[in-house]
Amino acid sequence: MFQNIPTVTKNLLIINVIVFLACNVFPVLNEPLTGYYFQSAHFKVWQILSHMFMHGNFTHLLMNMFALYMFGGVLEKYWGGIKFINYYVLCGLGAFGLHQFITYLEVQKLIAAIPANLSAEVFANGYSALMEGKNYTNIDAANLNFALNIGLVGASGCVFGLLLAFGMMFPNTELMMLFIPFPIKAKWFVICYGAIELLQAFANREGDNVAHFAHLGGMLFGYIILKIWQTQGKLYS
């Protein structure tokens, strides 16, 4: 089965698994490869790409890699490797960009809500506090610390872009999902999944550490790319 996976999809699967294993064997790699907010002292330019190959735990990795295998392989066979990897990476960049923008709005709101000396303290020492399992008693300062110093990891933005592309390219293909006891057409699955992500993003549920806006960013930029290709007559092989 592994031999039948197209080359780029196969290499992406391998790289993601290798990075996951490396970060668990050598935890020192986690900080420099995680995608931090651009005003954080821990942000590095390469994180724009490196975060796409990071995963928080095995379940996170498994779900993303299964989706990459299921949808990525089909799209790569249809588009070819170069077009596929361009789309994959651009969706990941778009997801990261939207996540950064939403975080920027949140950070500015939180800075305005607390004294200047407290926000300066968070910027200077917030990361160290989190590494010690601590945070600020002021709720706005605590949330600012999370926004600044909890990074983004995962290929989910890329994967959501693939999901959208599959739904647009093969809208009437019926999918059998483990959590849905009946077949559902790809277009309805994508619409429902996107709607759920949108609701969860704005609900901002306490304890929800999922980057929903990054997922939506992957779908949004995927849609823009596909529409551009459609205008240029490059959507279909």
Each residue's pLDDT tens digit, 97-153: 999 999 999 999 999 999 999 999 999 999 999 989 999 999 999 999 999 998 899
Supply 152's token pair.
């983004």
Q: Which amino acid does the sequence have at 98? A: L
pLDDT of residue 183: 77
Does residue 237 lie within any of the structural domains? no
pLDDT at position 84 over 60: yes
Q: Which residues contact 34 (CB under 8 A, 6 or more apart)?
A: 42, 47, 50, 51, 54, 151, 152, 153
pLDDT of residue 169: 87
Does residue 125 lie within any of the structural domains? yes
Residue 26 binned pLDDT confidence (cut-offs 50, 70, 90): very high
CA atoms in the 13 A half-sphere facing the CB of 64:
29
Does residue 144 lie within any of the structural domains? yes
Dist. CA 11–CA 18, nearest whole Å: 10
Q: Which of 107, 72, 57 is nearest to 209 (CA)?
A: 57
Element (H, E) at 229: helix 212-232
Q: Please indicate whether residue 184 or residue 57 has the higher confidence score (pLDDT).
A: 57
pLDDT at position 74 over 80: yes
pLDDT at position 207 over 50: no
Decide: 37 and 127 in contact? Cβ < 8 Å. Answer: no
pLDDT at position 45 over 80: yes
Does residue 139 lie within any of the structural domains? yes
Does residue 176 lie within any of the structural domains? yes
Does residue 54 lie within any of the structural domains? yes
Q: Is the pTM of this model over 0.75?
A: yes
Give residue 133's domain range.
2-232
CATH number of the domain within which 64 lies: 1.20.1540.10
Q: Please indicate whether residue 210 or residue 29 has the higher confidence score (pLDDT).
A: 29
pLDDT at position 208 over 70: no
Does residue 105 lie within any of the structural domains? yes
Give how far Cα 120 sits from Cα of 17, 72, 115, 162, 225, Å.
38, 44, 9, 40, 40
> 185: which strand partners?
174
Does residue 160 lie within any of the structural domains? yes
CA atoms in the 13 A half-sphere facing the CB of 147:
23
Highest mean pLDDT among 25-29, 164-168, 199-203, 213-217: 25-29
- Structurally, the chain folds into a number of domains equal to 1
Beta strand pairing status for 174-175 and 184-185? antiparallel
